[in-house]
Chains A and B, each alone.
Chain A
Amino acid sequence: MPLFRKKDPVPPPATAAAPPPSVPVLKCRGDERALEFEEQLARGRWQEFHDFLQETDNWGIRSFYVSELSTIPGRPQWLDEWVAARPQSALPLLFRGVHSKNWAWEARGGGRAKTVKKDAWPLFHARLVEADRDLAAAAALDELDPTAWAASVIVGMGLSLGQPELRRRFDEAHRRDPLNGAACVNMIQATSRKWGGSNEAMLEFARWAAGQAPDGHSVHKVVALAHIEMWLDAPKGEPQRGYFRSPAVMQEVMDVARRSILSPNYAPEGIALSWADRNVFAFCFRLMREYAAQLEQMRLIGPHVVAFPWVYQGTAGQKYEEHRQHAFKQLYAVAAPPWEAFLASAGWAQPPAAGADQAQ
């Protein structure tokens, strides 16, 4: 160290790096009716939504609207007003219960248990207890609806109620609506190792559900979901990178894809529900390096990019675009066309500007 030296030079100002390219992740999967209800609920008007749910006899559709619209941050007052105004109806209890579940995860955060702050746990558990009360009350008021039971699987998972109880809740949903989509999807999380189950139990459940389902049924995707959880749980590095390239995994994912989204009999309960399925398989195809299959799904998805499962790797819109571009390079050795041109070439009209959630 010299005794005398010049002052350190002032470093030059850093230039801001360009943000990575991203595509819009549509709120409510771009469903126009859901977006209308979202706007009404934001103003505290729940009445039309109540009437709509009441007239909906398709459980998958009901579950979709309840799930999508209950992701409201905070706790709006109109939830309690709705419950008080319709005391004989299960619907406000169902909605408030699902909202409480989401609100609980808002307190906890979506990371692994070790990332959760110590003082967040009591709030997480308190909101789950509220959710459980409302969902139990909703289930008691409507003996036919499986939706509350399906949602209660996740609530029970959060309260660590144990695998037998989670299976009981699933069975209640399944009894009311065999192979209820939401219930089956929730059971993949509930049986996973990270939530107190095991990878073996999770795969066993997924294979059982797929084994029960006819050709073209949406529920086949739970096998793909199970493999995504296995991939997530694999040790970092080559075991995780190589997971979806194992022949057995590739074979199984392709088999269930052929029995669902690739089947000529594929008939999801509603077009909005198909976006979730296709995003799941597009993700799997990408990790399997099946770029043709991946791009085919991306063409069919069009602008209906959803956060899951891309959010497992980072910002959903960015990862989706990154993988789209990667597929083009790998398949055609050319850069992917711009997003709008890609959609147009796939037969999509102007991508919806309203409802896009760039924050994903």
Chain B
Amino acid sequence: MENLTHLPKLPSIGSIRKLPPNAKREFRNGMGFLSPWIIGFLAFTFLPTIATLIFTFLNLKITDGLFSPLKFVGLDNWITLAKDNTIWNARPNSSPGALWITIRFGLLALPVGILVPLGIAVLMNSPHLKARNIFRTLFYMPYIIPFVASVFLWAGVLNPETGWINQILVALGVPKGSLPGWANDIHWVYPAYILFGIWGIGNAFLTMLAGIQGVPTELYDAAKVDGAGGFASFWNVTFPMISPVIFYNLILSVVGLFQYFLVPLAFNLGTGDPGGATMFLNLKIYKTFFLFQNMSYGSTLAWMLFLVILIVTIVLFSTARYWVYYASERSN
């Protein structure tokens, strides 16, 4: 298994001239084959990222000509951001800021996004389960449904009046007055989004299942000899052995949750309704740029998001050494 936490030692590119002719040809050919990615990386990733940073120091409008003179405004956009209550506000009983909304929702959704696929993977690995390939296929299936279609399915099921979920609740005896309003209800919109999110567990549960199936059976036998029961052998054998897969999914989930915006865009039309609870940070960026056409402030928010994700990712990677087990590393 490759190790994301430790980058390999790299020779510097400056040493190429000293290479023998054979190695020079290898370098030319190799770089030739990599060139589509290198060009694409520069054109669609690296330069736009730098351009976004430069935009934060300018006052740009999308209507400006490509070569019209640039108006530098220094740190104005960053100062506006620092004072922007719609981003930072975290005081209770006032409309929350976009960053706080994103973090609050992320803290609710992240455990579900890790534990539900883990639970299903453990269930799929049970020796008592019949027809497990069928189950595996069907639990994965919603992942390949077009996003827009799955939003419509869930919007239908979660409809407060006609949706099946509330009809089931009524059948279970929940009084009509206290039924959840789901996506239209400020208290139920996050649970509604999280329920919808469970349909996206496909990749996470398949990778976790593959991880669990890859655990050598001798380890379980050894744990049994030591008197470990079902939970103890999961906690002491399965979990450490699949911790790299969990870590990979954790990073992907965190990065994904900070960029969360397509669901509120599709479910609540990007209005931030109900009660501003769904004005996620990335949705705010989208609206700042695409709706209000404010390029410079949109760029500032985008870079802020980038920095937040970078910091959180670095923090997570730095915790990895305490709980993520890399077999190759320990055996050295």
A is bound by B: no
